[in-house]
Structure 1
Amino acid sequence: MTDQNNDRRFVLTRRAFTRSAMLAGVALAAPAIIGRSAFAQSGEGLDAYTSANVDWKREAGKKIMVGGATHPWSNAVTPFIPQFTELTGIEVETDFRSETEFLTALPIKLASGSRTPDVFMYLAYGQGITAGWLEPLNSYYENKDLVDPAWYDEADVLKPAREYPLWHDGERYAFPITAEAQTLYLNKAYLNEKDLDTPKTFDELLAAARAIKTDNVSGIAMRAKAAGNATFPLTGFIYSYGGELFNDGRVVYDSPEAIAGVEMFTTLLREAGPIGVSNYDWYEALNDFMQGASAITSDTSNFATDISNPAKSKVAADAAFAIMPTAGDKPSRPNMSCWQAAVNSKSNNKDAAFLFLLWATSKATSLQTAARGLATTRVSAWESDGFKKAFGDQAAQAALANLQNADADLAKRARFHPQSPQILNELAVGVSLALSGAETAESAMKKAAAKANSQLRT
């Protein structure tokens, strides 16, 4: 097949994508009540829960709202919510929205003192704790009516995920619900056409992306819009070049190392990226890759499930999964994250909300969601046949390797700062200026860091 025919077959117009995304957004914005008659088989596998020394029925008759982003976790856990209702007698209403919409609306709602959602996905940990939005959970863990420690088995939780929610005083304000590491995704067919190997260094990545780019296929696509939640892939570039976002009370993404990472990131997208990449969030980057409209992307390991699914991805048979490249003699340092789920400190149903999170992150539920391809926080789930089949052996190996190469402390320093939204937003705006060519990477990062530091409360 020629490049031209390949391009024509897979390209998806921006207008078509926007139309489908808008239609999806309308559906996602409407809360849904998940009851006993929903599509999961009610009552199936309850022995795995009733064997625990937990009073599951103590909150029977309550109703809670679970809010979050449309995400692999929400997609994987939703079919099993009727099982939770059967087990506990607690009805669950869900409100899952696009990530941008959810992350924009949630702090406004919490700041207003809203009692719902009772449970919500969360990222800006430091901001939520400082503002008093997140319920402290250590006392719940110590309640023998709520938790059977032997049954829950925290030792089965991956070490980075187990440590991720710990605040500096040892208090926990959330449950980790995913273990994600930045992964490099490649379309082998495009690489083979140019006789290219999997890039091991960033210079090789840039050369490959340039070589593959055509008028209809971008060499690489990544999220790059001027919003803090779009900085996930960029951050792995900064770390891998030896830079940091935050250290010793100051924003430091204006260091020479960080600037070098930003320079590589923006050069890749400017010279080999798609038209309009400055407006890309993860939806667009993932869609382009799965449609064959881009040859390479880099983002969370959770993308692997959709990319490997031939019902969703036109490139499932050609997809390859790799570790993040290196810069010179520096080690690969992919970004990592654990999406977390918290209990609203203003909720009227805190025990019921805690039981939901206990159930959702347990071994038994994790095995079920892992079989749907979710990269959970559980070692037992990662080792299960169901996960390996759904996620793919190569994808799982790449994700684990990237998790091992990641530095959780680096990831937490900026993410857990009470003013993390401002820190990340200024970074995103600065990178957007560098990407457009309006500023050099050095100039943009120095201005962004200075502005971020001027906003930090002492």
Structure 2
Amino acid sequence: MVRSITRRRALQGVALGGLAAPMLNTVTAYAQSGAFNWQRFKGQTVEVLMETGPRADLMKKYQKEFLDQTGIKLGIEVIPEQQARQKVAIELNSGKPSFDLFNFAFHVQKRQFEKAGWLLEITDWLKDPQMMPAEYELGDVSKLGMSFATTSDGKVNALPILCDYFMVYYNKELFAKKGVAFPKTLDEMMAAAAALNDRSAGISGFVGRGVRNANVVLWTQLLSGWGQETVTGKPLRLITDTPDAIASAEYYKKLLSSYGPAGIAGFNWNEAQGLFMQGKAAMWIDATGFAAPVEDKTKSRVVGKVGYGVPPSGPKGHGSVTFGTGMAIPKNAARKEAAYYTMLWMTGPKMAGRMLQVGGGIPFRTAPLKDPAVLSTLTVPREWADCAAGCAPISMPGLPVIVPVTEFRDVIGTALTNLLGGADPATEMKRATAEFKPVLDKSEAS
């Protein structure tokens, strides 16, 4: 259900706070009197590159609806995530992209795209009544979502499509058998993992990412309990060897080593998810987007037994690390305006609600999470949506927005994996910080 609001109200939200000066107005050639018109660029074909996943599935499913609404045809290419990232970077760098619109992970490629100047700035269009329909409700897009889509100098060059909050998946049946309450603090979570861990029955008190690179986001989730991120200042500098960073690494080591399954140093999200779906793990912390398979009766043994909880608070903070995905238009795209209309449709309230309904991710919007028409047709439990709504106010970046983010994950991730083999947290975090510091310094200097 889409609520109509005035354009003035839509533009009053925090999303437009501090927008930069206008960009070069490429709409002039299409100028016409009157309000927004979805048919304004009919007859054009927009080439879209999408990563494999629920968003691509939804775009393909409803492309006929979009054609009827706008007169714009879509050519949709869907390829796996890593291939898509490589293709996007190569073609944007060439200056002759084969696509007019694409989706990407803010935490992986935002800084790279910004520094290269590859994306079309859309700041002006968001304030133009002929290019921004009131029903888009820009003011409903979260502050975090718009911060992801905004460059360091205040220009908007993307629109947020969905976010993944980190939440706790827990097995209610195992908790009930042991009389354990859902933990509200990290101390309580450690105690719960100890109480629920039963090696004789093959039950792990906790499961999560232990493998190098992937494990960093679980650690940053725990680090949020100490009220800290991984970088600070301008230019950015590492703070991954502070007393709080080391304390969170010690917590990570104990939780996974003492109460995780054998071989957890090799676990990524899929191995952790598999163990949880077999009913062999009491708790699992990971992203919201994994609810659909957990609740799939053909794949999961814990359907109807799963609880969804906001991550516990720590001694100094309370956060839910968040990862965002957006859509953007190449600066050299052939059909910029029609691509922008496509982006409005894909990131708007209606498609956001559909994405939520299938458990494909949480939109950077609040209205769908409160819309009875959307919530009544969820294919996952309502508790999942309620938990996501609870994560939103405490959301925070889960990775530093830097160009060498993959190297960061590799270096810090190696230290975390070493902890699971018995290494000392202080020694490893200091070593990893010293190793990555010159990489970050060089990147920031350039």
TM-score category of the 2 structures, normalised to the smaller one: 0.7 to 0.9
Q: Partner of 1:405 in structure 2?
A: 394
Matched, 1:345 2:331: yes
Per the alignment, residue 195 of structure 1 pairs with 179
Q: Secondary structure in 1 aligned to 2:320? A: coil
**Could you say if the C-alpha distance between residues 86 and 278 of structure 1 is closer, same or farther in structure 2, counting changes exceeding 3 Å?**
farther
Q: Map of 1:52-451 to 2, 5 A cutoff?
A: 53-56=36-39, 58=41, 60-70=43-53, 72-88=54-70, 89-97=72-80, 99=81, 102-103=84-85, 106-108=88-90, 110-111=92-93, 113=95, 115-117=97-99, 118-123=101-106, 124-142=109-127, 144-148=129-133, 150-210=134-194, 211-214=196-199, 216-227=202-213, 230-248=215-233, 249-328=236-315, 330-373=316-359, 374-389=361-376, 390=378, 391-406=380-395, 408=396, 411=397, 415-437=400-422, 439-451=423-435
Deviation at 1:111, TM superposition (A): 4.2
Question: 1:152, 1:430 → 2: CA distance?
Answer: 44
Structure 1, residues 62-102: CA drift from partner, whole Å, max 9, x if none? 241322253x44444442233223333322313142x4555
* Distance across 2 between alignment mates of 1:52 and 1:288: 54
1:316 is paired with a residue of what secondary structure? Answer: coil
Is the contact made by 1:243 and 1:253 (CA closer than 8 Å) also made in structure 2?
Answer: no
Q: Which amino acid aligns with 2:179?
A: D
2:24 alignment counterpart: none
User: Do the aligned partners of 2:224 and 2:314 also contact (CA within 8 Å) in 1?
Assistant: no
* Deviations 1:22-73 (CA, angstroms, capped at 9, x unpaired): xxxxxxxxxxxxxxxxxxxxxxxxxxxxx98224351524241322253x44
Of residues 282-291 and 254-263 in structure 1, the stretch that sits farther from structure 2 once superposed is 282-291
Does the aligned pair in 2 maintain the 1:81–1:92 contact within 8 Å?
A: no
Report the 3-state secondary structure (helix = DSSP H, G, I; strand = E; otherwise coil) of the residue aligned with 2:152. coil
Number of residue pairs aligned between Structure 1 and Structure 2: 398
Conserved 8 A contact 1:185-1:321: yes
Provide the secondary structure at the position in 1 that maps to 2:331. Answer: coil
CA contact (8 A) 1:190 1:212 kept: no
The 1:352–1:252 alpha-carbon spacing in structure 2 relative to 1, beyond 3 Å, is: same
1:119 partner letter: F
SS in 2 for 1:261: helix
> Hey, what's the Cα distance between the residues in 2 that align with 1:156 and 1:202?
32
SS at match of 2:119: coil
Contact kept in structure 2, 1:74 and 1:96, CA below 8 Å: no
Quote the Cα distance in structure 2 between the aligned partners of 1:66 and 1:104: 12
The normalised TM-score by structure 2 is 0.80
Q: Which moved more, 1:166-175 or 1:205-214?
A: 205-214
**Cα separation, 1, equivalents of 2:298 and 2:370:** 25
Query: SS of the counterpart of 1:65?
Result: strand
For the 8 Å contact 1:188–1:320, the answer to whether it is kept is yes
Contact 1:137–1:172 (CA<8 Å) still a contact in 2? Answer: yes
The 3 A distance-change label for structure 1 pair 386 and 100 is: farther
The one-letter amino acid of 2:148's match is: Y
Closer, same or farther: CA 445–192 of 1 in aligned 2, 3 Å:
same
Native 8 Å contact 1:324 1:333 kept in 2: yes
State the SS of the aligned residue for 2:144: helix
Work out whether residues 174 and 342 of structure 1, in 8 Å CA contact, stay in contact via their aligned partners in 2.
yes
Contact conserved, 2:294 with 2:302, CA < 8 A, in 1?
yes
Q: For the Cα contact (< 8 Å) 1:243–1:255, is it kept in 2? A: no
Bigger drift between 217-226 and 167-176 goes to 217-226
Please give the root-mean-square deviation of Cα atoms over the aligned residues, in Å.
Answer: 2.7
3-state SS, counterpart of residue 339 of structure 1: strand
Change (3 A) 1:155 1:243: closer
One-letter amino acid of the structure 2 residue matched with residue 242 of structure 1: G
Alignment of 1:37-52 (within 5 A): none
Q: Is the 1:225–1:279 Cα contact (8 Å) retained in structure 2?
A: yes
Q: In 2, distance between residues paired with 1:275 and 1:368?
A: 39
Matching residue's letter, 1:238: L
- AA paired with 1:224? G
Q: Deviations over 1:289-313 (max 9, x none)?
A: 2232322111122333443444553
**CA contact 2:114–2:151 (8 Å) conserved in 1:** no
